[in-house]
Structure 1
Amino acid sequence: MGRTGSAARLGRTILASTMILGAAQAVLADPALRDDGANWPAFGRGFDEQRYSPLNQIDKRTIGRLGLAWSLELNDVWNVSTQPVAVDGVLYFAAGFSVIHAVNAVTGELLWKYDPKVRGRKMRMAWGSRGMTYYDGKVYAGTQDGRLFALDAKTGALVWETLTTEADDNRYITGAPRAFNGKIIIGHGGADFGHVRGYVTAYDANTGAQLWRWYVVPGNPADGFENAAMAMAAKTWTGEWWKYGGGGTVWNAITYDPEFNRVYLGTGNGSPWNHKLRSPGGGDNLFLCSVVALDADTGEYVWHYQTTPGESWDYNSSMDMVLATIAIDGAPRKVILHAPKNGFFYVIDRETGKLISAEKIGKVTWAERIDLATGRPVEIRGARYENGEALIWPGSGGVHNWHPMAYSPDTGLTYIPVREMAGYYNDEGRDPKTWQMTPNDVLGLRGFFDDIPKTAGTSALLAWNPVTQKAAWRVPTPGATNGGVLVTRGGLVFQGQADGRFIARDADTGAELWSYDMGVGTQAPPATYAVDGRQYVTILAGWAGAPMLLGSLSAQHGWVGRAYPRRVLTFALDGHAQLPPSPPPSTTVEKVDDPSFIVDPALAERGKHVYKDCVICHGTAVVAGGYAPDLRASHVPLSASAFAAIVRDGALENRGMPAFPELSDQDLEALRHYIRERARYEPSFAAQLGALWNYLRLLVKMQLARWGLI
C-alpha cells in the first residue's frame, strides 16, 4: 500500500511538473526565483502564489532534528503579522507601521532598518503590514498612510516614494505589493471606514512613475466613465451609490500570471456593506467580491467572475488566488484556486474566467450551493436580513480570511486555514430613502457592542482536493484565528497557531510531526529558504492586529498586554539556540476601580458609541484581546487629565497609541463612564439566559425564513 501510494504521488508530481513547465520557465526568468527554492522573494514565493517550496532537506524523516537556529526580539514594534521574504541570505520583513528590517538570515544580525514614519490618523488602523516584496535589487512596501516606497536592498536607502491614495482620505495600505515585468502594483483598504472607491495602481519599479490605474467600481455617471468596463459595471448598480464610494478595495490578493500576462485582482466588499442602502434598486454591483483579470501591460479589463453578486455581508474576495494546472476530466486545465470569505472553494478557468466547480468548505447558511450553469449562488431566503435581523454563517470574518493558503503539486491538495463563526446582521431603522453615511454608521447596519464569548468561533487546518472538491483531512486548531501556511516538497505543512505553538504537519494525513513553543501566539505566515545549502524556516510571532478586537474570543489565549514578546524565530536542522524567556499566558484580568466614581448610564451609553474607534486595539466591549492593554485593568481612565493627555493629546504615540484630537471633553468623559461601566459588569444568570434565548430565537427565525413561513 505504501509503495503504491508513493508511486501514485510520484506520478502526480511528474504530471504536475510537466503541466506547469511553461509557467515555471516564465517565473524563473526572475533571478531571485531560482528553481532550487533558495529564495522566498514575494508574498506567495512565486508568481503562482502557491506558497510551495521545492526544498526538502527538512522532511518527514528529519523533522525531529529541527531546532531553533536564532531568534530576534522586536521590542520597538507592536504588530508582527507580516510575511517575511528572503533573498540571497538576507531576510526582510515589515513590522509595526511598515518598519522594514533587513537581517542576516543565518545569524539573525540586524543589517539595517528603515522607518517610513507613519503618523497621524492612519495610525488608528491597527492591522499592521501583512507583507512586502523583493524585486531587482530593491524591496517594496506600502504604508498605512497610503504611500508606496522602494528601498535599496543592500543599504536600506530610500530609492523612491509615492502617495498612492489621496491625502486624508479613508484609504490605507496593509497588503503586500506585487512585482512583474518592471512594474509594481498595489491596492488599498478602507471601505469599512467611510467613503472609498477602490482601485489598483501600477508603477514603474525603478522610478515610481504611475503607469496605469484601474477602478473596481464605477463612479458618478455624470463625470463619465474611465473605460468600457466601468460603463458596463454601472448597469449593475442603482441609486446614487457613488455618494458612498461603493467600496471594492483590493487590500490583499493580487496575482500575476506570466503565461497570459495578466493580473488577477481579488476585490473587496461594498461600502456600505448593506446592499439595500448602497444599491436600493438591486443589482449585482460589479466588480465587488470578484476575481477580475486585467492585461498586465495596460490594465485593460479582460474578464471577471463574481463570487458574491450584490454582496451584503462583507464577503469580499480579497483572499489569495493560487495558479495551478490540474487534471479536470482527465485533461490538464490552467486554473485559479480561490477560497474567499463566503465559504465556497472555487476552481476557475484562468484563460476564460469560466467557473469549473465550487463547493462549501465550512458552515454556510447564506446560500444553498453555486449553480454551475450560471455561476451564481442559490441564496437562502432570509439571508439578506430582509426580515429585520439574521444570524448568518459565515460572519464577516469569513470561512477563510487573509491568512494565506498553500497548494502542493506533489499531493494535489490545497491547505487552508478555515474558521466557523456566525455573523449578526440587522439594518433596523435604516431607510434607503433617508439614510446617509456618517462616521457612526458607515456599514449601514445596527452596531454590535457585546463581548464575543470564547465559544463563538472555531478554526481548523483543512486539506482540500480541488479536483474532487472534497476534504482530504481536517484538523482542529486553537481558537478562531490562526496563521497562514506553507507546504514543502519535504511533505510538510507549517503553520503558527494562536496558542503559541509552531506546528509541522504531514501534508498527506495532517498528523502533527513537530512543534515548538514560540512564547506567544501568531497569525503571521512562515517562509522557508536556503543559504549555502542549509534549509531554514522563519516565522514572526506576536499577538496583535485583527485578533485583538474579538474580545473574549481573542483573550482566551492569554496574550493580552505589552508584556508578551514580538519576535522572529528561525529554525534549521540541528539548531540549538535558546529562546529568551517570556511570561506564561494569562487569562486573568485584574480590574481596577474607584468606588467614588458614580457611573452615569446616559454618559456610558454615549461612550459606547464613541468607543467604536477604540475597538480595533482595545477589543469589543472593552475586553482586550491582544497587544493593547485591557482598559478595565488600567488606572489611566480613573484620571480625567491623564486620560485626556493620552487619548486626545497623543502622549503615548511613540508606543503606538494614536491621538484623537477631535474628541471633546464630553466625549472623553463619556468614554470614561463607559469603561467604568464595563469594568464593573458581571453577567447575571438572567443576562446569560437572555443571550441564549436571543441566539435560539434567531436560529428559529432563520429556519422559518428558509421554509418560506415568514
Structure 2
Amino acid sequence: MKGIRSLLATGLALALFGAAVASADPTTSTAGAHRGDWPTWQKDLSGTRFNADERRITQHNVDGLRLKWAFAYPHTDAPVRSQPAIVDGVAYFGGPDGRFYARDARTGAARWTFDMSVVEPGPRPAIAWDGPAVAGGRVYFGDIRGYVYALDQRTGTLVWAKQVDAHPSATVTSSPIVFEGRVYVGTSSGENTAGKDYACCTFRGHIDALDADTGALAWRHYTVPQPQAVGTWPSGATKYEPSGAGVWSSPVIDAKTRTLYVGTGQNYTGSAGDFDTLLALDPRTGAVKWRNQVTEADTWRSLCNDPDPEGYCPGLKDGSALDYDIGATPNVFTVGGRTLVGVGQKVGVYHVFDARTGEVVWRRQLGVPLPSGGVSGIQWGSSFDGRRLYIATYFADPGKVFAVDPATGRVLWETPNPADGCTTGGAAQHPDICSLGHGPAVSSSPGVVYEGANDGKLRAYSATTGRVLWTYDTVRDFTGVNGLPGRGGAISGAGGGAVVSDGMVYVQAGYAPAYPNPDGGHVLLAFGL
C-alpha cells in the first residue's frame, strides 16, 4: 500500500474557478456550510486537498500557530487514522477505540458520540479506518470490518450501516465521496498478510456506488476476476488465483464530465485484472471509460519479506513482487484548457494522464524505489493549489516534500525531512523507532503546505520556496479536553493528513512507527493563531 504555471494569471484564475466549483457543489457540503469548511477527505470533488478560502493563516504568520485543544483517546494498540471533516464549526472523526465523535471545532467541546460496536457486534473490532464525508445532513465513513455507515450529522443517530464486503479480511480504508445522491467508496483487504498455512487468496477488490439515503448498492466494479483454486502452496494450503487489487485510495470526481477516478492495489496471487491501475468510471453505471495500468506485473504478499519465501512469492525471482500499487488519491486539474488527472504510485512516480482519454501526459520519478514492500514512494495523496502540485515521499532515505509544475512535471523545489527530525523533540528518545519519512497525504492553503512525518512532527512549508516555516513536535504528553491523558507520535498516515479550516489546523497523531505510550492514548490536535 502509498508547479508554477507559465502564466500566473492563468493559475490564479484556475484556483479561483476550482474553489468556486468546490464551494458551490451541494453534494460535498451540508446546507448552510460555509466556504472555509473541509467536508471530505479529498476536500472537494476533484481532490485538491487545498482550502482556497483560508485567509487567516498565511505564510507570514503560520509560525504563530499554537495548540488550542487536544482530544485524547482511551489507550489502545490500534493506530489513529480517521482524518477529521470540519463542517459548520464541528469536527467529525473516528477514533481507534471504536467510537465516532463530533466535537466543537473551536473548543473541542462534546457534541455527540456514536458507539460503532452496536452495529453487528463480532470478533473484529469496529474502528473507523478512513476519513468521513459530510454531505446532505449526514456523515459517511467506513470501518476496519468492511462496513460503511451513515449518521445523522446533527445528532449522531445511525441512519444506516451496510457491510460492503463479508470477506473476513475486508476493510474500508477508502474515504467516501458523495455526488448526486450516491456514496462512492472502495474496499481493500489485509488478507495477503496471512501466514504459510493460509489458503491464499480469495479477496477481490472493488469500488462501489451506494445510495446515499439507504446504503443500497447501485453498482460495483470488481478489480479482478473471481479467484479459482489452482493447486496448493508448499504447506498444502489451497492456492487461489487471481486475487487482490484492493481499492485502498479514495475516489475523486470530475463533475463536468461526470467521471470517477480511483486507483487500485497489487495482486495477491496470480496476475490479472485491474491491478496497479488508474480507473476512469461512469459514476452512474460503473462502466469503464478508460484504464491505465502503470505496472506490468505486481504480485505481492507479506510472505515476500519472509526469510524463506521460496514457493510463496514467485515474483521475487522475476521481479514482479513489488507492492508498487496505487494507494494515493488522484488529483483532477486543468492546464491550458486541458483537464488532467494525476496520481502518485508507491514506486515513487507521479503519473499524469489526459482525463478524457487516459493518454500519458508526463511522469516524474520522485521517490527512490526499494526492492520490495512499496514503502519508499508516494503513499496516500497529494495537493493542488491551482499553481503547483505538492507531493511527499515516504521511506525514501529521506522522504521529501516536492512542489511540481502541473504542466510538465518539473520539480520546482524539494525539501527533505529535516535531518534533525530524529535527534530533536520526543523522537530523540527513540532513535531505534524514528525514521525520516512522510506517511500522510499533503494538504495546502494559500501560501502554505502542510505535511506530517514519522518523527512525530507536523510541519508547515512555504508554498513558493519549500522552506520550513513552522514545526510542532507531537511526541509529548497531553491532557485531552475529555479529561484523558494522551501522547502523540508519528503523524497519521493511511489516508490521514492535516486539515485546514477557518483559521485552524487539525491532525491525528499516533500512527506507525509506534512510539511508547504506556499511560495514555493517541490524540487529535487542533491548532490556531
Give the TM-score band, short-chain normalised: 0.7 to 0.9
State whether residues 484 and 523 of structure 1, in contact with CA within 8 Å, keep that contact through their aligned partners in structure 2: no
Higher RCO (Cα < 8 Å, 6 or more apart): 2
Partner secondary structure for residue 13 of structure 1: helix
* Residue 245 of structure 1: how far off its partner (Å): 4.5
Q: What pairs up with 1:338-417 in 2 under 5 angstroms?
A: 338-364=343-369, 392-393=370-371, 395-402=373-380, 404-409=381-386, 412-417=387-392
Q: Which residue of 2 aligns with 1:475?
A: 415
Q: What pairs up with 1:205-216 in 2 under 5 angstroms?
A: 205-216=212-223
Q: 1:568 to 1:29 in 2, by over 3 A?
A: closer
Q: Which residue of 1 aligns with 2:40?
A: 42
* Residue 211 of structure 1: how far off its partner (Å): 1.0
Q: Which residue type is aligned with residue 441 of structure 2?
A: G
Rg: which structure is higher? 1
State whether residues 33 and 41 of structure 1, in contact with CA within 8 Å, keep that contact through their aligned partners in structure 2: no
Q: Which residue type is aligned with residue 131 of structure 2?
A: G
Q: Which residue of 1 aligns with 2:456?
A: 500
Q: Which residue of 2 aligns with 1:176?
A: 175
Q: How far apart are the structure 1 equivalents of 2:70 and 2:20?
A: 39
* Residue 38 of structure 1: how far off its partner (Å): 1.7
- Percent of aligned pairs sharing the same letter: 27
State whether residues 405 and 486 of structure 1, in contact with CA within 8 Å, keep that contact through their aligned partners in structure 2: yes
Q: How far apart are the structure 1 equivalents of 2:292 and 2:524?
A: 39
Q: 1:7 to 1:497 in 2, by over 3 A?
A: closer
Which of 497, 513, 516 is 1:547 aligned to?
Answer: 513
Q: Which residue type is aligned with residue 174 of structure 2?
A: G
- The farther-off stretch of 393-402 and 312-321 is 393-402
Q: Which residue of 1 aligns with 2:470?
A: 514
Partner secondary structure for residue 70 of structure 2: strand
* Residue 34 of structure 1: how far off its partner (Å): 8.5
Q: Which residue type is aligned with residue 277 of structure 2?
A: S
Q: How far apart are the structure 2 equivalents of 1:498 and 1:420?
A: 9
Q: What pairs up with 1:442-481 in 2 under 5 angstroms?
A: 457-477=397-417, 478=421, 479-481=435-437
Q: What pairs up with 1:552-563 in 2 under 5 angstroms?
A: 559-563=515-519
State whether residues 401 and 414 of structure 2, in contact with CA within 8 Å, keep that contact through their aligned partners in structure 1: yes
The one-character-per-residue Cα deviations of 1:337-385 (angstroms, maximum 9, x if unpaired) are 1111122111111111111111211224xxxxxxxxxxxxxxxxxxxxx
Q: Which residue type is aligned with residue 470 of structure 2?
A: W
The one-character-per-residue Cα deviations of 1:241-296 (angstroms, maximum 9, x if unpaired) are 99334211112231122111121121111012xxxxx14xxxxx331110111110
Q: 1:35 to 1:6 in 2, by over 3 A?
A: farther
Q: Which residue type is aligned with residue 38 of structure 1?
A: G
Which of 258, 280, 283 is 1:293 aligned to?
Answer: 280
Q: How far apart are the structure 1 equivalents of 2:258 and 2:454?
A: 38
Q: How far apart are the structure 2 equivalents of 1:509 and 1:413?
A: 12
Structure holding more helix per residue: 1
* Residue 495 of structure 1: how far off its partner (Å): 2.0
Q: How far apart are the structure 1 equivalents of 2:188 and 2:5?
A: 46
Q: 1:36 to 1:16 in 2, by over 3 A?
A: farther
Q: How far apart are the structure 1 equivalents of 2:350 and 2:210?
A: 32
Q: Which residue of 2 aligns with 1:387?
A: none
Q: How far apart are the structure 1 equivalents of 2:112 and 2:33?
A: 28
Matched, 1:566 2:508: no
Scaled by the length of structure 1, what TM-score is found? Answer: 0.59
Q: What pairs up with 1:151-166 in 2 under 5 angstroms?
A: 151-166=151-166
RMSD, matched Cα: 2.9
Q: Which residue type is aligned with residue 303 of structure 1?
A: W
* Residue 158 of structure 1: how far off its partner (Å): 0.5
State whether residues 308 and 342 of structure 1, in contact with CA within 8 Å, keep that contact through their aligned partners in structure 2: no
- Matched positions, count: 452
Partner secondary structure for residue 63 of structure 2: helix
Q: How far apart are the structure 2 equivalents of 1:149 and 1:35?
A: 21
Q: Which residue type is aligned with residue 240 of structure 2?
A: K
Which of 323, 338, 344 is 2:332 aligned to?
Answer: 323
Partner secondary structure for residue 12 of structure 2: helix
Q: Which residue of 2 aligns with 1:485?
A: 442
Q: Which residue type is aligned with residue 144 of structure 1?
A: I
Q: 1:480 to 1:184 in 2, by over 3 A?
A: same
Q: How far apart are the structure 2 equivalents of 1:502 and 1:18?
A: 27
* Residue 13 of structure 1: how far off its partner (Å): 3.3
Q: 1:25 to 1:92 in 2, by over 3 A?
A: closer
Q: 1:24 to 1:176 in 2, by over 3 A?
A: closer
Q: Which residue type is aligned with residue 353 of structure 1?
A: G
* Residue 99 of structure 1: how far off its partner (Å): 2.2
Q: How far apart are the structure 2 equivalents of 1:79 and 1:221?
A: 34
Q: Which residue type is aligned with residue 35 of structure 2?
A: G
Q: Which residue of 2 aligns with 1:71?
A: 70
Q: What pairs up with 1:236-255 in 2 under 5 angstroms?
A: 243-255=240-252
Matched, 1:103 2:71: no
Q: Which residue type is aligned with residue 296 of structure 1?
A: P
* Residue 98 of structure 1: how far off its partner (Å): 5.2
Q: How far apart are the structure 1 equivalents of 2:192 and 2:170?
A: 10
State whether residues 27 and 136 of structure 2, in contact with CA within 8 Å, keep that contact through their aligned partners in structure 1: no
Q: 1:508 to 1:247 in 2, by over 3 A?
A: same
Partner secondary structure for residue 346 of structure 2: coil
The one-character-per-residue Cα deviations of 1:413-440 (angstroms, maximum 9, x if unpaired) are 222220345xxxxxxxxxxxxxxxxxxx
The one-character-per-residue Cα deviations of 1:114-153 (angstroms, maximum 9, x if unpaired) are 1212865544x9x962312111111111111111111111
Q: Which residue type is aligned with residue 538 of structure 1?
A: Y
Q: 1:174 to 1:295 in 2, by over 3 A?
A: same
Matched, 1:333 2:342: no
Q: Which residue of 2 aligns with 1:196?
A: 203
Q: How far apart are the structure 1 equivalents of 2:153 and 2:211?
A: 17
Q: Which residue of 1 aligns with 2:253?
A: 256
The one-character-per-residue Cα deviations of 1:206-227 (angstroms, maximum 9, x if unpaired) are 11111111111122699xxxxx
Q: How far apart are the structure 1 equivalents of 2:473 and 2:228?
A: 56
- Stretches of structure 1 that go unaligned for 5 or more consecutive residues are 223-240, 273-277, 280-284, 365-391, 422-456, 549-558, 574-710
Q: How far apart are the structure 2 equivalents of 1:358 and 1:28?
A: 34
The one-character-per-residue Cα deviations of 1:473-520 (angstroms, maximum 9, x if unpaired) are 22221424433321111x011222322322111111111112223223
* Residue 537 of structure 1: how far off its partner (Å): 1.2
Which of 499, 514, 523 is 1:527 aligned to?
Answer: 499
Q: How far apart are the structure 1 equivalents of 2:17 and 2:385?
A: 14
Q: Which residue type is aligned with residue 58 of structure 1?
A: I
State whether residues 332 and 341 of structure 2, in contact with CA within 8 Å, keep that contact through their aligned partners in structure 1: yes
Q: What pairs up with 1:431-442 in 2 under 5 angstroms?
A: none
State whether residues 23 and 259 of structure 1, in contact with CA within 8 Å, keep that contact through their aligned partners in structure 2: no
Q: How far apart are the structure 1 equivalents of 2:281 and 2:155?
A: 34
Q: Which residue of 1 aligns with 2:11?
A: 13
State whether residues 227 and 242 of structure 2, in contact with CA within 8 Å, keep that contact through their aligned partners in structure 1: no
Q: How far apart are the structure 1 equivalents of 2:362 and 2:454?
A: 32
Partner secondary structure for residue 53 of structure 1: coil
Q: How far apart are the structure 2 equivalents of 1:26 and 1:473?
A: 33
State whether residues 28 and 177 of structure 2, in contact with CA within 8 Å, keep that contact through their aligned partners in structure 1: no
Q: Which residue type is aligned with residue 42 of structure 1?
A: T
Q: How far apart are the structure 2 equivalents of 1:24 and 1:362?
A: 30
Q: How far apart are the structure 2 equivalents of 1:294 and 1:97?
A: 35
State whether residues 347 and 357 of structure 1, in contact with CA within 8 Å, keep that contact through their aligned partners in structure 2: yes
Which of 536, 555, 575 is 2:504 aligned to?
Answer: 536
Structure holding more strand per residue: 2
Q: How far apart are the structure 2 equivalents of 1:215 and 1:264?
A: 14
* Residue 8 of structure 1: how far off its partner (Å): 7.7
State whether residues 28 and 35 of structure 1, in contact with CA within 8 Å, keep that contact through their aligned partners in structure 2: no
The one-character-per-residue Cα deviations of 1:293-346 (angstroms, maximum 9, x if unpaired) are 1110111111111111222311111211011112xxxx3210111111122111
Q: 1:34 to 1:476 in 2, by over 3 A?
A: farther
State whether residues 342 and 394 of structure 1, in contact with CA within 8 Å, keep that contact through their aligned partners in structure 2: no
